[in-house]
């Protein structure tokens, strides 16, 4: 049994996330976690809300709430939606936790001791209209590299180039839109990550199994232009982790907080301590996942995220971990995703464009969305959500293939043999051929799941469903029954066992439907089909079952057209 630590990029607190956010990190991470648990591995799957920084302050002000109250309320909303989408976190934490505050201040102290933090007097943009210093990401303008007119002052989301606010052409406040900006002097702390360039380069080179998308973005930041630059880790804000060296004050940094991109990744570690504290467990129980001197040396650590988060997770966070000089667990594999676009444009939280997670669940149960998103995951390139494609996928894959198979075999058995598994005769050549095909396909499915090839895994799972339908169509027990009831009974027994098998294999993708299938088959047996022949004999003759309700209703043309009109890209 292996031990696998899984983290997905932590969603920002301001607002409900859209489907593009979901497929970019949390959902594929959940797929992988569920699969690994199903194979008997020990898994720790962690996520949290990212709660610090200006966006939280502004969202709270807009909602008319103190920022701490706003974050607590939105945490509850996001945790509820995540649960309803079937995201199986072992713990869903908060970056505003005491555990994260203590760990962030601890890391800052260790980095300072190592000579990796320098104090810089710098000029920072101040908005007279807003009456405040503007964090880099709250200054917008035209990117000097690609010409994108909504580039932020820290990074252009279009070309991913790292920027300073002064690099922008025609900068403006993203809060008020005002161009009445001036530069004032302030002091901040910088992480001297440029001194670690060679060390980070060698570490990235050692990750030969990382996706090309991941390594190409990391290398671009390391080598393009001026290469890896030192990074500011403090901000002039009220809401955040106060700047301290461990539990000691940091002279000259009074009233400042750590930059959200410094403390947010540390929450991955803090989240495990939150889990231990919430469950009354000793520190040893979380340290065995995160400290290589406490047992984490045999842990495989996998991260999931969208491509816009790659630079910080391949450079700045590793620089924090390595620079501390302490035996923390480093990531082994970083699975990154391109963007999911929406119906000819882009999903955008800030612009309110696209279908959001709460809206999706108002339309259809989670498994409809889980299947479509995972089977269309933007791995090798950006992908696009359209209502026509969604309708086609739901109807053909879920309703016609899987749902129809379950309905046909259970209803036929009930009509001819009653609601118990019939017959005890041996399987014939047709059944043995199916077992051989399924064995080959299941081994392929396992291979794709192990290497986190999400779309290929979905394609192979669908092919496994199709194989059962083709078997049922060619075996035609409704015809066989007229001439040879005993053979028809064996065919039906095979079909009912396929339902249990499909429930086990499909659980990572469509967990609620999987549970319904197992319930209908009156079994708690979720053993993985290492031996497919044995798996297709798990339900013996005489075992009772029930005919389930329709697993998946088809999406009608009228529904598709209505939803396309209702969700034109602007959140109402």
The tokens describing 228, both together, are: 């890896």
Closest CA to 342 of 334, 352, 333: 352
Q: How many CB atoms lie within 10 A of CB 262?
A: 28
DSSP-assigned letter for residue 416: H
Residue ranges of alpha helices (H) inside 39-159 are 54-63, 67-84, 98-113
In this structure, the dihedral spanned by the alpha carbons of residues 264, 270, 274 and 277, taken in order and rounded to 10 degrees, is -160
Paired strand residues for 185: 123
Three-state DSSP state, 316: helix
Pairing of strands 333-337, 248-249: unpaired
Is residue 143 a known part of a binding site?
yes
| Residue given tokens 């980095």 in the structure block | 111
Edge-to-edge strand order for the sheet containing 181-191?
Answer: 132-133, 117-127, 181-191, 231-232
| Residue given tokens 């409900």 in the structure block | 16
Closest CA to 306 of 379, 231, 376: 379
C-alpha 555/C-alpha 372 separation (Å) is 13
The tokens describing 131, both together, are: 């009456």
C-alpha 285/C-alpha 276 separation (Å) is 7
For residue 46, what are the contacts with CB-CB under 8 A and spacing of at least 6? 5, 6, 7, 89, 90, 91, 93, 268, 271, 272, 275
Closest CA to 58 of 42, 71, 48, 77: 71
The sign one gets for the Cα dihedral 31, 34, 40, 41 is: positive
Three-state DSSP state, 500: helix
Query: Residue 554 in contact with residue 395, Cβ under 8 Å?
Result: yes
User: Which H/E stretch holds residue 261?
Assistant: helix 260-278
Three-state DSSP state, 153: coil
Q: How many CB atoms lie within 10 A of CB 303?
A: 25
Q: What is the DSSP string of 423-472?
A: --PPP-HHHHHHHHHHHHHHHHHHHHHHTT-HHHHHHHHHHHHHHHHHHH
C-alpha 268/C-alpha 274 separation (Å) is 10
User: Which H/E stretch holds residue 157?
Assistant: none
Three-state DSSP state, 115: coil
Q: How many CB atoms lie within 10 A of CB 487?
A: 18
Is residue 47 a known part of a binding site?
no
Is residue 54 a known part of a binding site?
no
Query: Residue 481 in contact with residue 463, Cβ under 8 Å?
Result: no
Which positions make up the binding site?
143, 146, 156, 159, 349
Which positions make up the binding site for Zn(2+)?
143, 146, 156, 159
Which positions make up the binding site for ATP?
349
């Amino acid at each position: 049994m292996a031990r696998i630590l899984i983290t997905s990029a932590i969603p920002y607190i301001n607002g409900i996330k859209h489907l593009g956010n979901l497929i970019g990190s949390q959902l594929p991470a959940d797929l992988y976690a569920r699969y690994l648990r199903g194979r008997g591995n020990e898994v720790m799957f962690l996520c949290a809300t990212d709660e610090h920084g200006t966006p939280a302050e502004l969202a709270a002000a807009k909602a008319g709430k103190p920022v701490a109250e706003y974050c607590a309320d939105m945490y509850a909303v996001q945790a509820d939606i995540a649960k309803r989408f079937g995201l199986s976190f072992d713990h869903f934490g908060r970056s505003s936790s005491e555990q994260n505050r203590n760990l962030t201040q601890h890391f800052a102290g260790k980095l300072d001791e190592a000579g990796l933090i320098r104090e810089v007097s710098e000029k920072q943009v101040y908005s007279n209209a807003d009456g405040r210093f503007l964090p880099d990401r709250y200054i917008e303008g035209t990117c000097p590299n690609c010409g994108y007119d909504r580039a932020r002052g820290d990074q252009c989301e279009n070309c991913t180039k790292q920027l300073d606010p002064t690099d922008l052409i025609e900068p403006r406040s993203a809060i008020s839109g005002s161009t009445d900006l001036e530069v004032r002097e302030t002091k901040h702390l910088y992480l001297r990550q440029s001194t670690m360039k060679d060390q980070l380069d060698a570490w990235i080179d050692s990750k030969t199994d990382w996706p090309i998308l991941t390594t190409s973005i990391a290398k671009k930041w390391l080598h393009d232009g001026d290469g890896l630059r030192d990074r500011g880790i403090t901000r002039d804000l009220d809401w955040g982790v106060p700047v301290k060296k461990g539990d000691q004050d940091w002279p000259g940094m009074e009233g400042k907080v750590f930059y959200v991109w410094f403390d947010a990744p540390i929450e991955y570690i803090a989240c495990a301590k939150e889990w231990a504290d919430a469950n009354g467990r000793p520190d040893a129980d979380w340290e065995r996942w995160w400290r290589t001197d406490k047992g984490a040396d045999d842990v495989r650590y996998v991260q999931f995220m969208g491509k816009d988060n790659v630079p910080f997770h391949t450079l700045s966070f590793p620089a924090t971990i390595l620079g501390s000089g302490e035996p923390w667990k480093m990531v082994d594999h970083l699975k990154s995703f391109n963007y999911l676009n929406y119906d000819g444009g882009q999903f955008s939280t800030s612009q309110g464009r696209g279908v959001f997670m709460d809206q999706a669940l108002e339309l259809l149960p989670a498994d409809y969305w889980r299947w479509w998103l995972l089977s269309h995951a933007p791995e090798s390139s950006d992908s696009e959500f359209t209502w026509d494609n969604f309708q086609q996928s739901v109807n053909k894959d879920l309703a016609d293939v899987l749902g129809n198979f379950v309905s046909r075999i259970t209803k036929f058995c009930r009509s001819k043999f009653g609601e118990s598994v019939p017959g005890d005769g041996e399987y014939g050549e047709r059944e043995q051929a199916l077992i051989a095909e399924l064995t080959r396909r299941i081994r392929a499915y396992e291979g794709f799941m192990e290497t986190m090839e999400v779309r290929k895994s979905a394609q192979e799972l669908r092919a496994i469903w199709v194989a059962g339908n083709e078997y049922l169509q060619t075996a035609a027990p409704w015809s066989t029954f007229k001439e040879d009831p005993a053979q028809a009974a064996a065919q039906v027994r095979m079909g009912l066992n396929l339902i249990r098998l499909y429930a086990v294999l499909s659980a990572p993708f469509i967990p609620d439907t999987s549970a319904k299938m197992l319930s209908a088959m009156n079994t708690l047996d979720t053993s993985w089909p290492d031996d497919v022949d044995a798996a297709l004999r798990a339900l013996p003759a005489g075992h009772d079952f029930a005919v389930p309700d329709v697993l998946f209703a088809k999406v009608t043309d009228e529904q598709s057209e209505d939803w396309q009109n209702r969700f034109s890209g602007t959140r109402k």
